[in-house]
Amino acid sequence: MSVEKLQPAKKLQATRSQAAKSNGWRAQALQLAAIVLAVFIAKGALAEPFYVPSGSMEPTLLIGDAILASKYPYGYSTASLPIQINLPETRRVLEGTPKRGDVVVFRWPGDRAQAWVKRVVGLPGDRIQMRQGQLFINDHAASLKPDGIAQAEDDNGGAESAYRYIETLPNGVSHEIFKLRDNGRLDNTPEVTVPPGHLFVMGDNRDNSADSRVAVRDGGVGMLPMDDLVGRADAVVGSWDLGMRHQPVWTWLSGFRLARFFTAVH
């Protein structure tokens, strides 16, 4: 008799247990969805990490750097989305204009699935020209101060000697640049005027950068539409020497450039 009375209680207990497990799975799924949504919103509205695969911004950014791009300084457009989907082009919301000297991440006009990073040297209305390897903005020369010899890494892991200079833009912003050779193919260019809504960007590795000196059809950036901006590169959050890929696995940890972790981009 006592056994028969306990059976319904066991069934009820089992049912409640199953319901509790089901509710637990639902709660975990909702928490996971909330985390994914929060990350998506943060990447879309606040900042997004990017990886530097080439040496065009040396010595400021090295191959293997992981950088964080802040999105709020320049406002938002479809380029700000953390995933690239085909949406109609729209104007930027909460639009802000970069300053000369800002290092920016943007969608390459030739293929918006690709994110590139360069330095802004020209704003709308500016007249830009290279004369014998020196940058001129509105007929004012950016000063160059020699700063020794360094090693510039190429995309294949090799290195070559480079002249290092401190370049100071007319607005007082200073940064390091590399010059690999004199009389490079992009050292002398015709003067161009930056059109409204566009920027003139350059790589700090002046002889190894396809930037606004090179047309999009030739693999460069051309005049960069501000609507293609993703954000401002503010920090290096991590860095690993890709040359270590060719070394034994047990030596890979030594490839981390700890001195570059959590450093500001200038």
Examine the domain organization and report whether 249 and 222 are in the same domain.
yes
Give catalytic residues, as residue numbers.
56, 118
CATH number at residue 258: 2.10.109.10
The pTM assigned to this predicted structure is 0.80
Return mean pLDDT, the chain: 83
Examine the domain organization and report whether 69 and 33 are in the same domain.
no
What is the number of other CB atoms lying within 10 angstroms of the CB of residue 75? Answer: 18
Examine the domain organization and report whether 23 and 130 are in the same domain.
no
Residue type present at position 190: P
Query: Using an 8 Å Cβ cutoff, are 105 and 117 in contact?
Result: yes
Rounded Cα distance between 135 and 147, Å, is 17
Rounded Cα distance between 226 and 120, Å, is 11
Angle among Cα 81, 85, 90 to the nearest 5 degrees reads 65
Examine the domain organization and report whether 197 and 135 are in the same domain.
yes
Closest CA to 231 of 119, 78, 73, 88: 73
Examine the domain organization and report whether 12 and 88 are in the same domain.
no
Examine the domain organization and report whether 89 and 177 are in the same domain.
yes
Examine the domain organization and report whether 138 and 24 are in the same domain.
no
> Looking at residue 96, what is its pLDDT?
82
Examine the domain organization and report whether 88 and 200 are in the same domain.
yes
Angle among Cα 68, 72, 75 to the nearest 5 degrees reads 125
Q: For residue 143, list its beta bridge partners.
A: 168
Q: Using one digit for the tens of pLDDT, what is the confidence trace for 14-67?
A: 555 565 555 556 655 555 544 443 444 444 445 688 989 999 999 999 999 999
Query: Using an 8 Å Cβ cutoff, are 209 and 117 in contact?
Result: no
**Ramachandran quadrant class, 126 (left: phi over 0; alpha: psi -120 to 50; beta: rest):** beta
Closest CA to 239 of 257, 264, 255, 265: 257
Examine the domain organization and report whether 36 and 60 are in the same domain.
no
Query: Using an 8 Å Cβ cutoff, are 234 and 260 in contact?
Result: no
Examine the domain organization and report whether 183 and 143 are in the same domain.
yes
Paired sense of beta strands 159-168 and 143-153, if any: antiparallel
Query: Using an 8 Å Cβ cutoff, are 104 and 123 in contact?
Result: no
Examine the domain organization and report whether 133 and 245 are in the same domain.
yes
User: Domain tally for the chain?
Assistant: 2
Residues spanned by the domain of 15: 1-45
Q: Using one digit for the tens of pLDDT, what is the confidence trace for 194-208?
A: 999 999 999 999 999
Examine the domain organization and report whether 77 and 155 are in the same domain.
yes
**Rounded mean pLDDT, 210-238:** 95
Give me the residue label for tokens 């700090």.
204
Give the pLDDT band (50/70/90) at residue 164.
very high
